[in-house]
Amino acid sequence: MRLKDKVALITGAGSGIGRATALLFARQGAKVCAADISEGSLQETVDALEGTRMQVTGDVSSSDSVKKIVQAAIDAYGRIDVLVNSAGINDRQVPEGLTHEEKWDRVMDVNLKGTYLMCWHVVPEMLRTGGGSVINLASVMGLVGSEYTGAEGFSSYVPSKGGVVQLTRNLAVEHAKNGIRVNAVCPGYVLTNLIKPLHDNPDLLEKIRQRHPIGRLAEPEEIASAALFLASDEASFVTGIAMPVDGGYTAQ
């Protein structure tokens, strides 16, 4: 097993890529600490996990909440070997009735600040135990622009994921000497809750599908497999990358 006895803390584990990653890591021998803001969704994930696991609810955009999440993992397992920052939202998931500035702040708080806060509190634990692997979920939208965001060029999602890519690179350079590898996975469009609103617009959904040369959208498990590689010792010489897992989207 590729992650035997490693402790993996995974945010956004209640659904989508986070859930698929938690399930895959557990099958590969990891002790999984699953975190999510939704207690109900998180419970469904934990019920499906194999092996050693625990759960903790929290909001990654809150420093106090992040401290609670990290401390729960340390109390349970004594260390964190792998951090997967999968918690995220897009413009379409922000509640109605907010101003454009409030929507911008909410997406940035979860996607970029949340990734920053998790890294801020986990990296010292990795330093204490001699290293680890951080995998940040960015997006192809962190590498290219997009006309499909529904915000007429003012999407908060796109720059939030661009920020995740740059945070990843900076942390990787800073902590390579400390045995901490930091990488980003940049998925194309994935069949998760994030794109559910697009199903109400089949013409737009078809245009997006056609943007992927491979001819379809990704399954969450395909993104989880990329995270598994980066978490494993097989990626021991890989740090600072933004890995597209996008069916050819960014190759055009």
- 152 class by beta-carbon count within 10 Å (0-12 exposed, 13-18 middle, 19+ buried): exposed
Task: Give the 3-state secondary structure of residue 214.
Answer: coil
Task: State the alpha helices, DSSP H only, in the chain.
Answer: 16-27, 39-48, 63-77, 100-108, 114-129, 157-175, 202-210, 220-231
DSSP code at position 152 = T
Task: Give the 3-state secondary structure of residue 190.
Answer: strand
- Contact yes or no for 149/157 (Cβ under 8 A): yes
Indicate which residue of 116, 157, 189, 249 is catalytic: 157
Element (H, E) at 7: strand 7-10
- Is 157 considered catalytic here? yes
Element (H, E) at 84: strand 82-85
Q: Which residue numbers are catalytic?
A: 157
